Amino acid sequence: MSKHLIKRSALVASVLLSGVVASSALAADIKAGKAVYDKACFACHKSGVMGAPKVGSKDDWSPRAAQGRETLLDHALNGLNSMPARGGNPSLSDDDITNAVAYMLDSAGLELPAAGGKAAKPAETKAEAPKPAAAPAPAPAPVAKAPAQKPKIQFNRLMKGRDEWNPPPAEDGIHDPDNEGTYMLQPPREGMAGFASGISGNRVDWVQTLDSGAIAPRYDRTDPNKKPFVMDLNIVREVKGSMPDVVYPHKQHTEWLDCSNCHPDIFIPKKGANQISMAAILLGQKCGVCHGKVAFPVTECKRCHSKKKKATAFKE
C-alpha cells in the first residue's frame, strides 16, 4: 500500500471518528437534559401550562428556535412572561438549562442553534438540472367528503367538561400563578393517573383506590408505622317515605380518620341523640362537615341511601 493511500485512509478514519465523538457528546447532552426536564421542566412543558411550548411539539418550538441560540437560552435562564428564571429552580446551572432546552428541541425534531446562528433546518437537496415535463397525470376520481361531525352536546353547560377536570395548579384558581413555586407542583392528572374513577369532585373513587392498594396514606403524621384502628360496623338510619335507608359504614371512614374527628363534637355516640336532616347537611352540619367539601357531595344520593326498604303487601 502506498504512503499516499495510507495517509488518505487515516484522514478518512479521523473524520469519521470525530463525527462519532461529536454525535456521542450531543447524545450525552440530550440525555442529561432529559434528567433536568424530568426534574424541573415537565410540570409546564408537558401539558403546555400558561402557553409553555409542549415537549415534542414542532409547531411550538420552531418559532422559538428561529430566534437563535442566545435569545432562546436568555429566556430560559432569565425568564420571560410566565416562564420563571431557570424553570423556577435557581440551583440549576447554565449547562443544566442548556441541556434541557436541547432535549426539548430534540424531542420536537430540532437542534439547538449554534452560537450566533438560527435553528438548524432540514437538509435541502441540491438543485438538479430541469427534466423534461412529464405528461400530465389523469385527474383523480372525486373523493366523497366525510360528513361533518355534529357538535358535542353537553347536558349542562354550567358543568365542566372532561378536559377541564383537575387542571394544573397554575390554572386551578387556588394556587398563585405568579408564584414560581406553583409550577414545581405535580399536576393532579399525573399524580392521580391509574386511580379508580369517580363521578364527582376530582373524579377519583378514593375508597376503591385505597382498597386496591394504589395508595397507602400515612395514618399518623410523625409515625409512619402506626396503623389505623379500623372499626367494621355499619349504622343504619331508617328514613321515612320511599327513599332507601341510610347506611353509615364505619370501616371506610376509620380507614382515613380517627374516631375523635367525628365524636363527640359532630356526632354524639348515643342512639337517638343525633337529629340529622338533609337541610342540616346542606348547611354544612353533621355529614355536611365533610361531604360536599372534602368528600363526595350529597348529590350522590345512592352512596348513602343504599339499603332498600322491604316491600310491604297492599291490604284492602
Q: What is the dihedral of CA 227, 228, 230, 236, to 10 degrees?
A: -170
pLDDT greater than 50 at residue 20:
no
How far apart, in whole angstroms, are the C-alpha atoms of residue 169 and residue 41?
Answer: 14
pLDDT greater than 70 at residue 150:
no
End-to-end CA distance of the chain: 119
Other residues' Cβ atoms within 10 Å of the Cβ of residue 241: 5
Averaged pLDDT for residues 84-96: 84
Weakest-pLDDT range from 84-88, 107-111, 116-120, 264-268: 116-120
pLDDT, tens digit (0-9, with 9 covering 90-100), for 134-145:
666 666 666 555
How far apart, in whole angstroms, are the C-alpha atoms of residue 310 and residue 203?
Answer: 33
CATH of domain 9-118+165-191: 1.10.760.10
CATH of domain 234-307: 3.90.10.10
Domain ranges of the chain: 9-118+165-191, 234-307
How far apart, in whole angstroms, are the C-alpha atoms of residue 120 and residue 68?
Answer: 10
pTM for this predicted structure: 0.50
- 287 pLDDT band (50/70/90 cuts)? very high
Averaged pLDDT for residues 82-90: 80
pLDDT of residue 122: 42
Q: What are phi and psi of 294, to 5 degrees?
A: -115, 0
142: preceding bond cis by omega (within 30 degrees): no
The contacts of residue 116 (CB under 8 Å, 6+ apart) are 68, 69, 70
